[in-house]
């Protein structure tokens, strides 16, 4: 399908095949003055609303004191006006970009934000692009006009309207408007998009709200309340769609999502930085942006990983290995241990510890939360031992006096001899030696000299027993997930024990030296361990709530005391005198110590491992390993998710091969697949080369249709890569041939990047480049996922394909990053997969 056919596919009425230059040619539209007036009116109204929000915000800030209720109301107002102000500020650029003329004669303007007049009827002046009434702006076609007869695209610079293009959805009206006007207008609607696509790229993505296409809009507004998967090739706008969907959902389900938050996960921090401005430019700030590497609160995974380790750690087998690693920390002694309580020596046998461990395991609670069971069973047994030793009358039936005396020492009971003499001790002797001392049976128990209170006291004493506490910490320690993982990965013995069924090579892959920082592949393991251990924010919250109630009780007590003494002090004095209890209530007093009350939902959600997000969006979702899916699914108990990705671009060896396989453990087949089929980034000249490679990766995946033909052929350069001078000279020659003022990425394997960054000529160009003049960067091929540049120079394609298990996919990603020009620098051999075009 040609670029023009692709444009028809996305729903434009194309009556001419003119290119970008022609589309940009602006005819003076007869409505330009009236549209300029309307634009002025909109901006004036926006200014009014901004100053009102600013004034209200100032008032809310300066209002002091008040009851806790007033304080919390004030905080809500501050949040509300801050958000309003951010929305109005964000709407400043390109405030209005469309107009819809309906067949019933009504007219609506479409823009970044909804505006109403301040008349009595609050007449709508501008529709928010996300409102239902705005939908035909994105969806209406000649075949399905949705009650619209004309769609107008308005381009402006600041307040100045610079271009108006009309699309007629009604043939009669188009004819009445005159054929010439119709042709030009129809092409110009397309021109708005082509102009946007042709624009020089900075290091940051921009929103596409004025030019969202039909198939994209259908996904953005998809009402399915479960999992939707957005599959699309490179440049089809998956990221754009994901971000606009977040803005749409926050607008449409504001109340619910304001409370629960939206999480957007991206592949790496460079990518998050690249997309970070899109949502604020749409007026949305309450979204948590994270990578898998920083999704676990308090952990920042910056280490790098060998891909074999990435594969092993990503496999779901790790769940069992981690469980074993935790089990291995639940130990029992190999010998009897003695502790002394009130001068009484108590013996703890391995069997007693094993019994406690068995009971704790049987509780089926996570490790840390099973510890109380372990402690309980151990203390019960020790209390019994104490009772046996101290309180229970014993009965001697046999044995010689000497042996009995030796046993007496064991019991540290000064009255033991007396007990033997009086026949209270039951010693069983064999062969002239004491074989064992029986508990004495039910009658003896009945005669136990310790009361229930005595035993309770003994138990309390055992609870506070330092030596015993240390032993318990050895046998059933409280564990932190990051410590368990660090200990496991840095000990070959621990790995061998926990992963005994792994082959040597896989065990090796897990090992790393002590003190190594965590990698992104470690983070899902830490999260899994947090589950196995029971590191639970819910429990922490309960604990916090208990602490809060305690603070409140203490504050009430303090105020009561104050009140009591005030009654005495002020008995005969002026009743008008204000006492502390008049102006501070218990809650306000207690609240002074509470620091977290001002946190936003996004801040609280980001800090809480167990936060249940209202909606979760995953970009480049094909990169998630089975372990990472487990982690992400925990954040989305309601399974309302938008997963965006392209399985042809999977570079994680543990990543997704098929969506069904990745999702079935969580939602079986209850997920919806939406596909994007048009490539907005890469022109056809570049796509042709990438398509050759795609066929080698997966024959069944069809490549998206490019919307632009492209002005430049792909450049091929045969250079000996080990000859640094030659490489330097080639790169210089390529860079000087590129259109200036545009961004350029030189993409290679990490190893080759290290060589490139030492090339003298290139280095001086790199350090002198600026964003304004067109940034030039050297980028590791593993870091360019999701990004785009005007020009891309791929160095050493065969090194990229041979450099990793997913090398072909990495090269495919690299080839599809350019919006304008692609150059390929190879060393004698062009990978066969590209050769058709070499």
- Smallest gap from residue 681 Cβ to ligand ATP (A): 4
User: Nearer Cβ to ligand ATP, position 11 or 786?
Assistant: 786
52 labelled binding-site residue: no
Only segment of 167-175, 191-199, 323-331, 427-435 that touches ligand ATP (CB under 6 A) = 191-199
CA atoms within 13 A on the CB side of 299: 28
Contact flag: residue 239 with ligand ATP (CB under 6 A): yes
Q: Which burial class, exposed, middle or buried, applies to 787 when counting CB atoms under 10 A from its CB (0-12, 13-18, 19+)?
A: buried
User: Nearer Cβ to ligand ATP, position 244 or 512?
Assistant: 244
Which 3 state secondary structure label does DSSP give 738?
Answer: coil
Q: Which of 49, 100, 208, 822 binds ligand ATP (CB under 6 A)?
A: 208
User: Nearer Cβ to ligand ATP, position 209 or 321?
Assistant: 209
Q: How many angstroms separate the CA atoms of 245 and 214, rounded?
A: 14
Contact flag: residue 692 with ligand ATP (CB under 6 A): no
235 labelled binding-site residue: yes
Contact flag: residue 232 with ligand ATP (CB under 6 A): yes
Q: How many angstroms separate the CA atoms of 237 and 235, rounded?
A: 5
Contact flag: residue 646 with ligand ATP (CB under 6 A): yes
Contact flag: residue 524 with ligand ATP (CB under 6 A): no
Helix (H) or strand (E) holding 139: helix 135-139
Q: How many angstroms separate the CA atoms of 691 and 694, rounded?
A: 5
- Smallest gap from residue 718 Cβ to ligand ATP (A): 28
Q: Count each helix (H run) and each strand (E run) in the chain, helices first.
A: 38, 23
Which 3 state secondary structure label does DSSP give 263?
Answer: strand
CB atoms within 10 A of CB 583: 9
Contact flag: residue 197 with ligand ATP (CB under 6 A): yes
What's the distance, CA 102 to chain centroid?
42
Q: How many angstroms separate the CA atoms of 113 and 101, rounded?
A: 19
Q: Which of 11, 111, 136, 234 binds ligand ATP (CB under 6 A)?
A: 234
User: Nearer Cβ to ligand ATP, position 479 or 648?
Assistant: 648
Contact flag: residue 510 with ligand ATP (CB under 6 A): no
Residues numbered 611-630 forming contacts with ligand ATP, rule: CB under 6 A:
none
User: Nearer Cβ to ligand ATP, position 482 or 623?
Assistant: 623
Only segment of 30-38, 170-178, 230-238, 313-321 that touches ligand ATP (CB under 6 A) = 230-238
The 3-state secondary structure of 216-239 reads HHHHHCCCCCCEEEEEECCCCCHH
Q: Total residues contacting ligand ATP (rule CB under 6 A)?
A: 23
Contact flag: residue 236 with ligand ATP (CB under 6 A): yes
Only segment of 71-79, 134-142, 234-242, 711-719 that touches ligand ATP (CB under 6 A) = 234-242
- Smallest gap from residue 266 Cβ to ligand ATP (A): 10
User: Nearer Cβ to ligand ATP, position 24 or 600?
Assistant: 24
What's the distance, CA 820 to chain centroid?
32
User: Nearer Cβ to ligand ATP, position 680 or 826?
Assistant: 680
Q: Which of 410, 252, 440, 388 shows the shortest CA–CA distance to 336?
A: 410
CB atoms within 10 A of CB 124: 15
Contact flag: residue 680 with ligand ATP (CB under 6 A): yes
Which 3 state secondary structure label does DSSP give 346?
Answer: strand
User: Nearer Cβ to ligand ATP, position 723 or 771?
Assistant: 771
Contact between 427 and 399 under an 8 Å Cβ cutoff? The reply is yes
Which 3 state secondary structure label does DSSP give 747?
Answer: strand
Q: How many angstroms separate the CA atoms of 315 and 653, rounded?
A: 10
Helix (H) or strand (E) holding 782: none
- Distance set, CA 752 to CA 304, 512, 618, 723 (Å): 17, 25, 31, 12
87 labelled binding-site residue: no
Only segment of 206-214, 307-315, 479-487, 508-516 that touches ligand ATP (CB under 6 A) = 206-214
Core vs surface per residue 81-94: b (16+ CB within 10 A) or e? bbbbbbbbbbbbeb
Q: Which burial class, exposed, middle or buried, applies to 27 when counting CB atoms under 10 A from its CB (0-12, 13-18, 19+)?
A: middle
User: Nearer Cβ to ligand ATP, position 239 or 820?
Assistant: 239
Only segment of 129-137, 236-244, 292-300, 342-350 that touches ligand ATP (CB under 6 A) = 236-244
- Smallest gap from residue 243 Cβ to ligand ATP (A): 8
- Smallest gap from residue 219 Cβ to ligand ATP (A): 11
Q: How many angstroms separate the CA atoms of 198 and 426, rounded?
A: 98
Residues numbered 566-595 forming contacts with ligand ATP, rule: CB under 6 A:
none
- Smallest gap from residue 816 Cβ to ligand ATP (A): 6
What's the distance, CA 548 to chain centroid?
30
Q: Which of 216, 330, 622, 749 binds ligand ATP (CB under 6 A)?
A: 216
3-state helix, strand, coil in the chain (%, to 5): 50, 15, 35
236 labelled binding-site residue: yes
**Rg value, the chain, Cα:** 36
Q: Which of 342, 341, 358 shows the shortest CA–CA distance to 350?
A: 358
User: Nearer Cβ to ligand ATP, position 282 or 727?
Assistant: 282
Residues numbered 769-798 forming contacts with ligand ATP, rule: CB under 6 A:
786, 788
642 labelled binding-site residue: no
Contact code string over 248-267 relative to ligand ATP, x by CB under 6 A:
--------------------
> Given the structure tokens 């001078």, which residue do they identify?
725
User: Nearer Cβ to ligand ATP, position 18 or 211?
Assistant: 211
- Smallest gap from residue 216 Cβ to ligand ATP (A): 6
- Smallest gap from residue 43 Cβ to ligand ATP (A): 24
Q: How many angstroms separate the CA atoms of 126 and 154, rounded?
A: 13
Which 3 state secondary structure label does DSSP give 125?
Answer: strand
614 labelled binding-site residue: no
Contact flag: residue 420 with ligand ATP (CB under 6 A): no
Q: Which of 60, 193, 227, 462 binds ligand ATP (CB under 6 A)?
A: 193
The β-bridge relationship of strands 678-679 and 705-706 is: parallel
Q: Which of 316, 288, 365 shows the shortest CA–CA distance to 635?
A: 288
Contact flag: residue 211 with ligand ATP (CB under 6 A): yes
Residues numbered 803-822 forming contacts with ligand ATP, rule: CB under 6 A:
816
Binding residues are 232-239
Task: Note the residues at the interface with ligand ATP (CB under 6 A).
Answer: 193, 196-197, 205, 208, 211-213, 216, 232, 234-240, 646, 680-681, 786, 788, 816
Binding residues for ATP are 232-239
């Amino acid at each position: 399908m040609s670029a023009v056919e692709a444009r028809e596919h996305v729903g434009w009425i194309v009556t001419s095949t003119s290119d970008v230059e022609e589309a940009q040619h602006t005819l003076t539209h007869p409505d330009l003055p009236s549209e300029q007036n309307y634009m002025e009116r909109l901006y004036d109204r926006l200014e009014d609303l901004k100053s009102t929000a600013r004034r209200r915000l100032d008032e809310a800030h300066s209002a002091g004191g008040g009851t806790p209720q007033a304080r919390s109301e004030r905080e809500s107002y501050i949040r509300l006006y801050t958000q309003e102000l951010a929305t109005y500020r964000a709407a400043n650029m390109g405030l209005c970009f469309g107009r819809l003329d309906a067949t019933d004669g009504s007219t609506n303007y479409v823009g970044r934000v909804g505006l109403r007049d301040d008349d009595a009827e609050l007449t709508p002046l501008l529709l928010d692009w996300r409102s239902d009434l705005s939908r035909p702006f994105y969806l209406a076609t000649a075949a399905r006009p949705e009650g619209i007869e004309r769609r107008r695209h308005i381009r402006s610079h600041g307040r100045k309207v610079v271009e108006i293009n009309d699309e007629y959805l009604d043939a009669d009206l188009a004819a009445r408007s005159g054929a010439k006007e119709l042709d030009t207008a129809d092409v110009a609607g397309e021109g708005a998009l082509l102009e946007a696509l042709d624009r020089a790229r900075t290091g940051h993505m921009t929103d596409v709200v004025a030019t969202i296409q039909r198939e994209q809009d259908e996904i953005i507004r998809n009402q399915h309340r479960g999992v939707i998967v957005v599959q699309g090739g490179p440049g089809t706008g998956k990221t754009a769609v994901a971000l606009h969907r977040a803005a749409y959902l926050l607008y449409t389900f504001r109340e619910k999502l304001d409370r629960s938050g939206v999480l957007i996960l991206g592949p790496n921090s460079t990518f998050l930085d690249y997309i970070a401005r899109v949502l604020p430019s749409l007026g949305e700030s309450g979204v948590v942006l994270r990578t898998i590497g920083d999704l676990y609160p308090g952990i920042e995974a910056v280490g790098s990983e060998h891909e074999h380790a990435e594969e092993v750690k990503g496999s779901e087998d790790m769940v069992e290995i981690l469980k074993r690693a935790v089990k291995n920390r639940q130990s029992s002694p190999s010998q009897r241990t003695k502790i002394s309580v009130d001068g009484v020596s108590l013996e703890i046998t391995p069997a007693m510890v094993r019994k406690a461990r068995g009971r704790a395991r049987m509780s089926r609670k996570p490790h840390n939360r099973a510890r109380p069971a372990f402690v309980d069973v151990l203390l019960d047994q020790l209390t019994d031992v104490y009772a046996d030793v101290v309180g229970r009358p014993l009965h001697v039936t046999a044995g010689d006096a000497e042996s009995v005396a030796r046993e007496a020492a064991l019991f540290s009971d000064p009255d033991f001899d007396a007990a033997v003499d009086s026949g209270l001790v039951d010693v069983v002797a064999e062969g002239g030696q004491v074989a064992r001392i029986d508990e004495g049976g039910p009658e003896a128990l009945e005669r136990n000299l310790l009361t229930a209170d005595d035993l309770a006291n003994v138990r309390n004493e055992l609870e506070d027993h330092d030596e015993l506490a240390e032993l318990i910490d050895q046998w059933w320690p409280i564990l932190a997930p990051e410590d368990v993982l660090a200990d496991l990965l840095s000990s070959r013995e621990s790995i061998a024990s926990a992963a005994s069924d792994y082959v040597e090579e896989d065990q090796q892959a897990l090992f790393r030296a002590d003190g190594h920082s965590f990698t992104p592949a470690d983070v899902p393991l830490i999260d899994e361990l947090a589950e196995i251990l029971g590191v639970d924010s819910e429990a922490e919250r309960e604990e916090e709530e208990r602490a809060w109630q305690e603070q409140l009780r203490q504050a009430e007590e303090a105020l009561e005391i104050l009140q009591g003494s005030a009654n005495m002090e002020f008995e005969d004095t002026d009743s008008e005198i204000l006492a502390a209890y008049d102006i501070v209530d218990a809650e306000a007093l207690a609240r002074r110590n509470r620091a977290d009350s001002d946190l936003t939902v996004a801040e609280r959600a980001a800090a809480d491992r167990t936060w249940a997000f209202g909606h979760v969006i995953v970009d480049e979702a094909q990169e998630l390993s089975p372990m990472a899916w487990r982690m992400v699914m925990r954040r989305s108990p309601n399974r309302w998710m938008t997963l965006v990705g392209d399985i042809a671009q999977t570079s994680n060896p543990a990543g997704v091969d098929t969506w069904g396989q990745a999702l079935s453990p969580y939602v079986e087949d209850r997920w919806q697949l939406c596909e994007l089929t048009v490539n907005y980034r890469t022109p056809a000249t570049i796509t042709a080369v990438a398509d050759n490679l795609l066929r080698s990766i997966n024959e069944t995946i069809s490549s998206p249709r490019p919307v632009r033909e492209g002005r430049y052929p792909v450049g091929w350069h045969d250079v000996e890569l080990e000859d640094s001078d030659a490489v330097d000279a080639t790169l210089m020659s390529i860079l000087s041939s590129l259109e200036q003022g545009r961004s350029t990425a030189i993409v290679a394997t990490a190893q080759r990047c290290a060589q490139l960054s030492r090339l003298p000529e290139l280095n001086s160009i790199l350090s002198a480049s600026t964003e304004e003049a067109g940034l030039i960067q050297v980028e590791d091929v593993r870091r360019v996922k999701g990004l785009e540049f005007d020009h891309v120079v791929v160095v050493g394609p065969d090194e990229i394909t041979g450099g990793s298990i997913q090398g072909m996919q990495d090269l495919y990603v690299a080839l599809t990053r350019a919006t304008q020009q692609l150059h390929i620098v190879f060393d004698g051999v062009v990978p066969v997969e590209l050769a058709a075009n070499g």
